[in-house]
A and B are shown apart, each in its own frame.
Chain A
Amino acid sequence: MSGIAGKSAEPQQEALKGVRDTGLEEARLRAFLAHTWRTPKGLYGWLVTVDHKLIGRRYIVTAFLFLILAGLSAVAMRFQLAQSEAGHIGPDLYNQLFTMHGTTMMFLFAVPVMEAFAIYLVPLMIGTRNVAFPRLNAFSYWVYLFGGLMIWVAFAFETGADAGWFSYVPLAGPEYGIGKRPDFWAQMVTYTEVSALAVAVEIIATVFKQRAPGMSLDRIPLYVWSVLVTAFVILFAMPAVMVSSTMLILDRLVGTKFFDPTAGGDALLWQHLFWFFGHPEVYIIFIPATGFVSAILPTFVRRPVFGYLGIVLSLVAIGFLSFGLWVHHMFATGLPQLGESFFTASSLMIAIPSGIQIFCWIATIWGGRPIFATPMLFVLGFIFTFVIGGLTGVMVASVPLDLQVHDTYFVVAHFHYVLVGGAVFPLLGAVYYWFPKISGRMLSERLGRWNFWLVFVGFNLTFFPMHILGLQGMPRRVYTYPPASGWGEMNLFISLSSLVVVAGFALFFLNILLSLRNGRIAGDNPWRASTLEWATTSPPPSYDFSRLPVVTHREPLWAEPDLLPVVEGLRVDAREVLAGTVADAVPQLRVPSADNSIWPLLSAIAVGGAFLGSIYTPWAVVWGAIPVSIGFICWFWPKGEPEDEE
């Protein structure tokens, strides 16, 4: 198989004096590669690394820390709501808590954690050594970290955002927004959007150009398909919220009137822009989660996923349709009847591709022999809860019905079923599934089962009653409710049940901490799975694969159980990856891959400083441009390497 790459690389043979891996003995090859792809030791190495696994791991850990913060805010809210007219938490703090909960869950946990897994897994699953644009990857993490820290530090100093995760104007506008709270929110959004867009670009370029030879479009693992579709959704959705958050901060800072109806602006414009992003956002979280399911399921039923093509087309259809639904967050604002019917129809239509996926998964289980390991339990828990969330989604898609349940606890129940059932359950399953690959050790199955059942039962006990509460008239985002409302008992029940979920998550983190130290050694492929990430060691070396694999089948490790065919001809003295054609992954070029650098971090600090400063003065954008330019110039300064001269 060495011919594939060797042929295309041949003309450059003369110019490049570097050592190639052709014919190199395995131990020497690994030593060369380990040196070439190494991350320096110590703090400095931590700051300069561009290794997608280190950055992905860091992203995952950070996202879970934000999950803990957002989860604790939810617990605080449930404490306040356990009784009617309780005085534990006043309206000022409560409004900050639910805003921080929603903002953190959406912007700082759910989207980043999905991106984080993509950053970690995609290069391994498609058989390459790093993402395209590794430094952009490092940059995106730092920007994300600074955005998240900024809004939580602001919260610690009583400047937490308090206008809801959707920050509707005029409440968040110049006249009614309190202090600098909405500005911190708007800038945090800008930070996280920058990082999400950066990751989306990397993922698209990596998947399109860096797949292992032979991995044609119809052999791409379904998980990779799902993150590819997600990346495109990010690319088109995120600019809408960046535009709107920038308009908001301009309204607040320099007195533009985008959203001021008394000056020719429109308060409703915000909602259109925000939900044009906000609805695809749900799918940005949900689509990768379906990818997790499609990756975990075949391993634990011991057969390929049924209906590969159907699932891929469903993913693409969901990606497109997700842009046609935003108005269903705005039915109560009053729309022309025709518009309402259109958005009802499009909202219902998205149930079709989602249904296709569910049916394909059930067919997969039908045709296989299920093994009830923890990741599989989470997948089954996902189907159980997500179908409820999807069906209540069908309910709220109906305009008249939505007018009763919109902004009530019914909707709170609905989207937690979709987001927790539909995304967090598969995510936890994914952690159990890939933890052995990431850490080299297995998570405890016993704790895993306890973890699953506590979270699953606790979740349903917590959120199912909210449907009824909403129909009984309890609105969202209220810090208290009157004793005579009759909502007290159910709220108490919900608050107590939420503690079960907390216990479940505590076990989850405990399991991780214990297993990192004492877990059973995993080996390369503990689940006997079929995709390429399981072909390398656990944890993978800095260079991912000592020789890049060649793919001959959609399930490479099942088709070639003994030894994968590999590519030869890459340099081992410089970082190189293989680039191929988009459709058929025919290798075309050996492409240099960027080395470690401190400049992504310094640029992120410069960018972060400019964003932070612009909360206080518009001039920060002007002065901030100078360090940002310096950062970017140094980042891209040519190093005089051979390929620069060619």
Chain B
Amino acid sequence: MARCMSLLARLRKRTRPLMSPAFACPTQISSGNRTTGRVPGKAADPTQWIGTAPMLVLAGCSDRQSALHAHGANARRIFDLIWSFGAVAAATWLLVMLLLAAALLRQCPADATRSPLETDPHQERRLACAVTSAVALTVLVLIMLTTASFFAGKSIASLSGTETLTVRITGHQWWWEVRYPKDEPSQAIVTANEIHVPVGEPVKVELDSPDVIHSFWVPNLAGKRDLIPGRPSELTLIADKPGIYRGQCAEFCGYQHAHMAITVVAESREAFDAWQSRQDAAAPAPDGDEGRRGQQAFLSTGCALCHTIRGTHASGTIGPDLTHLASRRALAADTLAMTPGALAAWIADPQSMKPGAKMPRIALSADDLNAVVTYLGSLE
């Protein structure tokens, strides 16, 4: 049958050079260490424009997306709740198991002649007392837990309204559009799959989706909130430690639900302001033959139909804004690390990296491909 054949076909092993930067070890930022000024036209050197990203300090890798490593007020309240509920649950379970073990191991006088219907009325009364007290205890514990949950919820809700910054996030199949609104709508900063927030300041995250339901979830900072078409919602985020946190879409949204991650960079106010002002600028004109050839190829082969690069006439809105692509840490919603090699591989064949993604494969000559990579690599 068709299914069996295709199953067999898929059972061959494929390996892909994938790497998820927000999970990858370099994590904590020490702000202000940013190297500027770079030699144009040498983007093919992988260390070059990666080196221009903020200096990073090595830290644990697997706690970048974990509810157990709370680095924000919301997540910490929930973390406390997880522990208290967890402890009560563990104690309850242990107690029930002890009771069960005691009941099983109790030495009852074996009496083969006794009918199973002959029960000891005294024992029945004692059992009734025991069951009643156990139920009463259950009710008491449940009331305590409900109260704890209610107050945690209230304290989380109390954060909203104190925000100093708004980020507007739109979920797309399968990437995140990020906007920092300004008074003049056309001045808004537009980027994708990476948000920057100042440490210690509550940030209002406005959520919406034009296609299917997604869910915005950065477990180190806060619980999740769904993005439901036609029902804009919001969430308050606060990070109280500089760092890079990874979030991931938590509501099944189709083929590439697994590759729909977002990076949250929490940094000092100064570093954040500096980032904002860099993002404000339009893309610089390419300064080198290779870069110019890349821009030309980008604008003439269809890339511009879907992507915007401010400062050029590329103004498509289907895919992510690429004005400052090279300043981001990852490609394709954290599917690949931002390296020239990965970028080239992604442009050459997006469907093998992220099957089902909306980005088509565009036929480019090898030279054009390299040029486009050089050009995009210069967009910091």
> Which residues does A use to contact B, with CB under 8 Å?
85-93, 95, 155-158, 160, 163-164, 168, 170-171, 176, 261-262, 266-268, 298, 302-304, 306-307, 310, 332-334, 337, 340-341, 344-345, 348-349, 351-352, 355-356, 358-360, 362-363, 365-370, 380, 383-384, 387-388, 391-392, 394-395, 397-408, 471-473, 475-487, 530, 553, 555, 558-559, 561
The one of B20, B131, B257 in contact with A307, judged by C-beta atoms closer than 8 angstroms, is B131
Are A344 and B146 in contact, with the CB atoms below 8 A? yes
Interface residues of B in 41-78 (CB under 8 A from A): 61-63, 65-68, 75, 77-78
Complex alpha-carbon distance, A266 and B230, angstroms = 8
**Are B135 and A476 in contact, CB atoms less than 8 angstroms apart?**
no
- Asked if B226 and A363 make an inter-chain contact with CB atoms under 8 angstroms apart, the answer reads no
Q: A176-B254, A359-B135, A484-B20 known; 10 other A-B pairs, CB under 8 Å?
A: A168-B212, A267-B231, A332-B215, A334-B233, A398-B152, A403-B225, A406-B224, A471-B67, A475-B250, A482-B23
Residue of A362, A394, A471, A530 near B142 (CB, 8 A) is A394
| Bound CA–CA A532/B173 (angstroms) | 58
Q: Is the CB of B103 within 8 A of A337?
A: no
The answer to whether residues A405 and B2 also contact, given A176-B254, A486-B62 and a CB cut-off of 8 A, is: no
Can you list 16 A-B contacts with CB-CB less than 8 angstroms, sorted by A residue number?
A87-B13, A88-B11, A156-B2, A160-B3, A171-B212, A176-B212, A266-B231, A306-B131, A368-B116, A370-B104, A387-B93, A401-B78, A403-B222, A404-B67, A407-B217, A483-B20
Contacting residues of chain B (252-302) with chain A, CB-CB under 8 angstroms: 252-258
The contact of B2 among A158, A307, A406, by CB within 8 Å, is A158
The segment from B32-40, B79-87, B192-200 found at the interface with A is: B79-87
Q: Are B230 and A471 in contact (CB under 8 A)?
A: no
Q: Which residue of B lies closest to A473 (CB)?
A: B65
- The reply on B14 being an interface residue by CB < 8 A is yes
- What's the Cα separation between A291 and B4 when bound, in Å? 40
The one of B4, B142, B356 that contacts A351, using a Cβ cutoff of 8 Å: B142
Which residues 231-258 of B sit at the A interface, judged by CB distance below 8 A?
Answer: 231, 233, 246, 248-258
Contact A355 B85 (CB under 8 A): no
Q: Which among B153, B250, B252, B356 is the interface contact of A171 at CB below 8 angstroms?
A: B252
**Least Cβ–Cβ distance between B216 and chain A, in angstroms:** 9
A401 engages B3 (CB within 8 Å)? no
Contact of A366 among B12, B67, B106, B251 (CB under 8 A): B106
Which of B94-102, B313-321, B371-379 is the interface stretch? B94-102
Is the Cβ of A88 less than 8 Å from the Cβ of B13? yes
- Is B19 an interface position by the 8 A CB rule? yes
Q: In the complex, A399→B215 CA distance in Å?
A: 16
What's the interface size class on B, roughly?
Answer: 35 or more
B179 to chain A, nearest CB (A): 20
What CA separation (Å) do A160 and B6 show in the bound complex?
13
Instruction: Report how far A352 CA is from B146 CA in the complex, Å.
Output: 13
Known contacts A369-B110, A403-B223; decide if A398 and B119 are in contact (CB<8 Å). no
| Contact (Cβ within 8 A) A85 B116 | no
Of B85, B103, B115, which is within 8 A of A362 by CB? B103
Q: Name the one of B4, B11, B23, B225 contacting A485, with C-beta atoms under 8 angstroms.
A: B23
> With A and B bound together, what is the CA distance between A300 and B263 in angstroms?
57
Bound Cα distance A646, B117 (Å): 46
Partner of B16, one of A85, A302, A476: A85
Given A304-B116, A394-B142, A400-B223: A88 and B93 interface contact (C-beta under 8 Å): no
B187 lies within 8 A of chain A by Cβ = no
**Are A400's CB and B78's CB within 8 A?**
yes
A485 and B62 in contact, given A157-B1, A267-B231, A363-B130 (Cβ under 8 angstroms): yes
In the bound complex, what is the Cα–Cα distance between A88 and B229 (angstroms)?
Answer: 33
B127 in contact (CB, < 8 A): yes
Q: Give which listed residue, A160, A345, A387, A402, contacts B146 with CB less than 8 A.
A: A345
B182 contacts the other chain (CB 8 A): no
- Docked CA distance A399–B145 (Å): 11
Residue of B nearest to A307 (CB): B131
Contacts of A553 in B (CB 8 A): 117
Whether B108 sits at the interface, judged by CB under 8 Å, is yes
Contacts of B225 in A (CB 8 A): 332, 334, 403
Instruction: Report Cα–Cα, A540/B370, bound state, in Å.
Output: 78
* CB-defined contacts of A406 to chain B, threshold 8 Å: 223-224, 250
Contacts of A340 in B (CB 8 A): 153
Shortest A75–chain B CB gap in Å is 13
List, in ascending order, chain B residues with CB within 8 A of A88's CB.
10-11, 13
| A473 B16 Cβ-Cβ under 8 A | no
Q: By the criterion CB–CB under 8 Å, are B124 and A485 in contact?
A: no
Across the A-B interface, the 10 shortest Cβ-Cβ residue pairs: A486-B62, A261-B230, A403-B223, A87-B14, A482-B20, A484-B23, A478-B258, A398-B149, A473-B65, A391-B89
Q: How far is the CA of A130 from the CA of B134 in the complex (A)?
A: 41
Contact A91 B18 (CB under 8 A): no
Q: Are B149 and A401 in contact (CB under 8 A)?
A: yes
Tell me, in angstroms, the Cα distance from A391 to B87 when the chains sit together: 11
Report the minimum CB–CB distance from A225 to chain B (whole Å): 18
Please report the C-alpha to C-alpha distance between residue A483 and residue B20 in the assembled complex, in whole angstroms.
Answer: 7
Which of A87, A333, A349, A555 contacts B226, CB < 8 Å?
A333
CB-CB under 8 A from B162, the residues of chain A are none
A87 touches B250 (CB 8 A): no
- A471/B82 in contact, CB under 8 A: yes
Interface assignment of B171: CB less than 8 Å from any CB of chain A: no
- How many Å from the CB of B315 to the closest CB on chain A? 24
Q: Least Cβ distance of A394 to chain B in Å?
A: 7
CA distance A160 to B127 in the complex (A): 52
A332-B222 Cα distance, complex, nearest whole Å: 12
Q: Which residue of B lies closest to A334 (CB)?
A: B233
Instruction: Check B188 for interface membership: any CB of A closer than 8 A.
Output: no
Q: Is B340 part of the binding interface, using a Cβ–Cβ cutoff of 8 Å?
A: no
From residue 115 to 166 of chain B, which have CB atoms closer than 8 A to chain A?
115-117, 119-120, 123-124, 127-128, 130-131, 134-135, 138-139, 142, 145-146, 148-150, 152-154, 156-157
What's the nearest-Cβ distance from chain B to residue A410, in Å? 9
